Amino acid sequence: ATGPQFPPTHHLADQPAVAPARDVDTFVQEFLEELNFGQGVPLDRSTINHQYLALASTVRSYLMADWLATAARRRAHPAKMVGYLSAEYLLGRQLGNALLNSDLEGIVEEAMRQLGIDLAAVRAQEVEPGLGNGGLGRLAACFVDSLATMDVSCIGYGIRYEYGIFRQTFVEGRQVEVPDTWLALGAPWEFRNPERAVQVDFGGSVESYAGDQGRPRRRWRPDWNVLAVPYNYMVPGYHNGVANTLRLWSAEATRAFDLQIFNHGDYAEAVRAQTFAENISKVLYPEDSTPQGKELRLQQQYFFVAASIGDYLHGTLPEDFDLARLPEQIIFQLNDTHPVIGIPELMRLLLDVHGMEWDQAWAITSRCFAYTCHTLLPEALEVWPVSLVERLLPRHMEIIFEINDRFLAAVRAQFPGDDDRVRRMSIIAEGGDRGVRMAHLATVAAVRVNGVAELHSQLLRDKVLVDFAQLWPEKFTNVTNGVTPRRFLVSANPPLTSLINDAIGGGWITDLERLRELEPYAEDPVFRERFRSAKRANKDHLNSTLLAAGTAQLPADHMLDVMVKRLHEYKRQMLKLLHIVSTYEGVLSGRVPAEQVTPRTCLFGAKAAPGYATAKETIYLINRVASVINSDPKLDGRLFVAFPPNYNVTLAQRLIPAADLSEQISLAGKEASGTGNMKLALNGALTIGTDDGANVEIRKLVGDDNFFLFGMREPEVAELQSRGYHPGEVYASNPVLKSAIDLIASGHFGDRGASQALMGDLVGNDRFMALADFQAYVDAQAQVDAKFADTEAWTRSAILNVARSGYFSSDRSMRDYLDRIWGAQVH
């Protein structure tokens, strides 16, 4: 129950960081030194991997100079800091981002050319750190990018998983997960800092003792522990000389633990203990909803949060710091409920280690955290069994009970006699299996609670957390998500970037609202032609990637219609598939002449959680449909389905710039925000979407004429739900829909048994009302086809999508967090 012990620092004169020279000759020299003396190979015997590692190390030393300078500047002028706590960071490749942000692209291109090295091949060698599942993890990566670009003092804390999100392969159409060995060929972007390791305790019991002046106090007697070893990653700002820190924790066995066992002479047992400790940061849980309640996951959460808070309190703050002033120095932003165990952890440190009384400890703790919720699905809210928390973190469980007792007393005082309300709001879910509702704990302790898009925040206030919003209306706020334009426009889409730069200059890269200046160009036929040629270049580029991966090629004249996101019933990949099958069925049955079908390639990218059977069956069906449709000559090459495996950040950067149509078709009220929707609009894809998540804001900004809206609104969904939804009736009454479902169920796409089971569930249950929105979707797709036929009109709308998407920069999101949350003075 202690913080880390630091060896005394030698007080050397604060030296300015030595900035490396920024010219090609010097760079060539530095690179060769890295290759020869870092990698131990001469150029003529080096592999691509040697070259990649040497290049990364060379570039890293440039970032390091910025990192040292940033840290020195922050020490000299201390300001309130953001501690972003996230179990996931879906970073994407580092090399391209480092080159872009540190403005080294030109130098490196020339240096590699002089050395005869294929820079594209070297870049392709990098395995992205996939330390996240999807939107939530990628959002964290965008946020730290923006904070560095805005020169906000921030440290991102997380877990250095040895295995990130699995690599998806398809074997006969079925998803097969392969371990992600992202560290295997070297990890040139990180540096391990063992001196700042933090011990993290688990288990044991709690005892009473007499404290100062005989005051009764409690203390934790843990019975095992692990060492959290930090690995630092630098987060460079864009062209500003700033580099912030991302600190990811890796679990190792503590020496004390080892020694104890070695002294017993049991070597094998000691090694086993080491493995046990290392397990904690071994693998990212691949479920992006429906938390499994696994003990190891709670261990991971406490592990990284305890290490992070310990690191900040006992490693970053000056030793004599007055903790009463903690809220002036730090705000911990909780990325969903995964780090919420940090709340009782800070209470424990203040009470048990620093000897504070409850009221003072709570006054501090309740000003140090803010909570972001990323979901509306009740099954996605984390609830940990009380018995598990008691066993793993007994002192934290006591503290949670006390927080709850005091909180419920306040609720009773405000709403006398309203026992139902008390039960609903309790942090502890009563009943057979008592559970700790992490979202309630977060809401009780946080200065602010935010949703991630307007609609989502409103539904949080009105539904999911309505009792809390009645008690503390001022706590609730919205911050609409955003994405970093550096990675998702400048890096991903060079043709469009230079087109924009030619038109309006480069100021938009850090001030994305300036894309508005493009609006008049939508009326310029020459600009429109250039815009189309940029899209074509992106499609060609994508094709070369797909070719290398052995995936089908995209015909140049096809509309590229993309649906890329995790596979989930609420996102309704099935709805899109039904439209594809109904188009095909129309041609098969002669209802629609093939020549009337708009040439389209429908592209899916999606991983399914390994234990999510329906999602995996859906992937299997999409692949079967693809193989039948792609080879059926009756379609005259007008409809293709592509499903490249292993959609990840790297593939997203290739795919999104090439897209014409963006599919955002979740059941209204289920997608908290979406961020792929923003990336696609920013790259000039038109959206076909429901009134859900950030689609609502995208449509408002780009305008109804440049967005294909369809389907039930959230209130209509709620109304249908309460009236009673009968998908079987929709099926029976819509002949086009029925024919498509029947074609699938007939086994036309193979595996009749699997097809029937999936269609049976759809017609019988359809939890996310795909059938209810089917006709509206088909009608909207007809509008898409009509517009696509008018090339100039389509291009005009695409340009306006780019020009009006400036709001969706994560720089703006960070401004909003600063204004609405991190600067907040409450209580």
Catalytically active residues are 374, 565-566, 571, 675, 679
Are the C-beta atoms of 228 and 307 separated by less than 8 Å?
Answer: yes
Contact call for residue 693 and ligand BZD (CB under 6 A): yes
233: β partners = 190, 246
Measured from the CB atom, the residue of 616 and 796 that comes closer to ligand BZD is 616
Q: Which is nearer to ligand BZD, 374 or 437 (CB)?
A: 374
- 672 is a contact residue toward ligand BZD (CB under 6 A): yes
Inter-axis angle of helices 752-764 and 770-789, nearest 10: 100
Instruction: Return the amino acid letter for 2.
Output: T
Contact region with ligand BZD (CB under 6 A), list: 505-513, 595-603, 672-680, 719-727: 672-680
The least CB distance from residue 128 to ligand BZD, in Å, is 16
Containing H/E element for 376?
Answer: none
Tell the smallest beta-carbon distance from residue 677 to ligand BZD (Å): 8
Site string for ligand BZD, 475-494 (x = CB under 6 A): ------x-------------
Task: Check residue 289 for interaction with ligand BZD (CB under 6 A).
Answer: yes
Q: Does 714 bind ligand BZD (CB under 6 A)?
A: no
Q: Which CB atom, from 344 or from 693, has the smaller least distance to ligand BZD? A: 693
HEC sequence for 37-104: HHCCCCHHHCCHHHHHHHHHHHHHHHHHHHHHHHHHHHHHCCCCEEEEECCCEECCCCHHHHHHHCCC
Task: Tell whether residue 437 is a contact of ligand BZD (CB under 6 A).
Answer: no
Can residue 674 be called a binding residue for ligand BZD (CB under 6 A)? yes
- Per the DSSP assignment, residues forming a β-bridge with 247 are 157, 232
Structure tokens at 12: 């050397």
- Min CB(659)–ligand BZD separation in Å: 18
Residues 6+ apart with CB under 8 A from 262: 270
Name 445's Cβ contacts closer than 8 Å, sequence gap at least 6: 343, 365, 366, 369, 371, 403
The reply to whether 675 sits near ligand BZD by the rule CB under 6 A is: yes
User: How would DSSP label each residue in 552-600?
Assistant: PPPPTTSEEEEEES---GGGTHHHHHHHHHHHHHHHHTTSS-GGGSPPE
- Exposure string of 576-615, with b = 16+ CB inside 10 Å and e = fewer, is bbbbbbbbbbbbbeeebebeebbbbbbbbbbbbbbebebb
Instruction: Indicate which single residue of 374, 395, 440, 448 sits in contact with ligand BZD (rule: CB under 6 A).
Output: 374
In angstroms, the Cα distances linking 616 to 209, 608, 623, 658 are 54, 6, 11, 27
Element at 746 (helix H, strand E): none
Least distance (Å) between residue 771 CB and ligand BZD: 23
Using CB under 6 A, which of 180, 288, 617, 773 touches ligand BZD?
288
Q: Which of 281, 583, 601, 673 binds ligand BZD (CB under 6 A)?
A: 673
Q: CB of residue 432 vs ligand BZD: minimum separation in angstroms? A: 24
State which residue, 219 or 297, has the beta carbon closest to ligand BZD.
297
- For residue 676, the surrounding DSSP H or E stretch is helix 676-682
Buried b (16+ CB within 10 A) or exposed e, 698-723: bbebbeeebbbbbbbbbeebeeeeee
Q: Minimum CB separation from ligand BZD for residue 179, in Å?
A: 19
CB of 609 to ligand BZD, least distance (A): 9
> Residues 317-356 vs ligand BZD: string with x where CB under 6 A?
----------------------------------------
Per rule CB under 6 A, is residue 766 in the interface with ligand BZD? no
Q: φ, ψ for residue 335 (rounded to 5)?
A: -80, 90
Size of the site for ligand BZD (CB under 6 A): 19
Label each residue of 262-293 as H, E or C.
Answer: HHCCCHHHHHHHHHHHHHHHCECCCCCCCCCC
Among the candidate windows 374-382, 540-548, 718-726, 799-807, which touches ligand BZD by CB under 6 A?
374-382
Closer of 211 and 611 to ligand BZD (Cβ): 611
* Nearest to 670, CA basis, from 702, 712, 710, 618: 712
CA distance 397 to 441: 12
Among 252, 671, 691, 811, binds ligand BZD (CB under 6 A): 671
691 binds ligand BZD (CB under 6 A): no
- 3-class secondary structure, 4: coil
Q: In what order do the strands lie in the sheet with 600-605?
A: 639-642, 600-605, 559-564, 661-664, 686-689, 707-709
Q: What part of residues 780-819 is at the interface with ligand BZD (CB under 6 A)?
A: none
For 316-429, where are the E strands, in sequence order?
330-335, 369-372, 383-385, 428-429
762 binds ligand BZD (CB under 6 A): no
What is the closest distance, in whole angstroms, from the C-beta atom of residue 233 to ligand BZD in the complex? Answer: 20
CB of residue 679 to ligand BZD, shortest distance in Å = 11
Cβ proximity to ligand BZD: between 485 and 586 the closer is 485
The nearest distance, CB 296 to ligand BZD, in angstroms, is 14
DSSP state of 483: B
Phi/psi at 552 (nearest 5 deg)? -55, 150
Q: Does 605 bind ligand BZD (CB under 6 A)?
A: no
User: Which among 162-170, 181-189, 429-437, 670-678 is the span making contact with ligand BZD, rule CB under 6 A?
Assistant: 670-678
Minimum CB–partner distance for residue 141 and ligand BZD (Å): 11
Q: Which is nearer to ligand BZD, 367 or 565 (CB)?
A: 565
Q: Which residue lies nearest ligand BZD, judged by its C-beta?
A: 135
Instruction: Tally Cβ neighbours within 10 Å of residue 465.
Output: 23
Smallest distance, ligand BZD to C-beta of residue 297, A: 9
Output the smallest distance, CB 699 to ligand BZD, in A: 16
Q: Between 135 and 342, name the residue whose CB sits nearer to ligand BZD.
A: 135
- The residue among 309, 371, 365 whose CA lies nearest residue 337 is 371
Q: Considering only 14-22, 410-418, 665-673, 712-720, which stretch makes contact with ligand BZD by CB under 6 A?
A: 665-673
d(CA 711, CA 696): 13
Span near ligand BZD by CB under 6 A; candidates 285-293, 502-510, 743-751, 810-818: 285-293
User: Cα angle vertex 395, ends 391, 399, to 5°?
Assistant: 120
Cβ nearer to ligand BZD, comparing 139 with 587:
139
Torsion of CA 2, 8, 12, 15, to 10 degrees: -20
Q: Which C-beta is closer to ligand BZD: that of 236 or that of 693?
A: 693
Nearer to ligand BZD, 289 or 545 (CB): 289
- Of residues 198 and 452, the one with the C-beta less far from ligand BZD: 452
Of 336 and 585, nearer to ligand BZD (C-beta) is 336
355, 269 contact by CB (below 8 A):
no
* Integer Rg of the chain from CA: 28
Span of 118-126, 284-292, 350-358, 556-564 interacting with ligand BZD by CB under 6 A: 284-292
Tokens at residue 419, please? Answer: 């026992």
Window 123 to 182, contacts with ligand BZD (CB under 6 A): 133-136, 139
Stretch that binds ligand BZD, among 307-315, 484-492, 616-624, 667-675 (CB under 6 A): 667-675
Binding residues vs ligand BZD (CB under 6 A): 133-136, 139, 288-289, 291, 374-375, 380, 452, 481, 671-675, 693
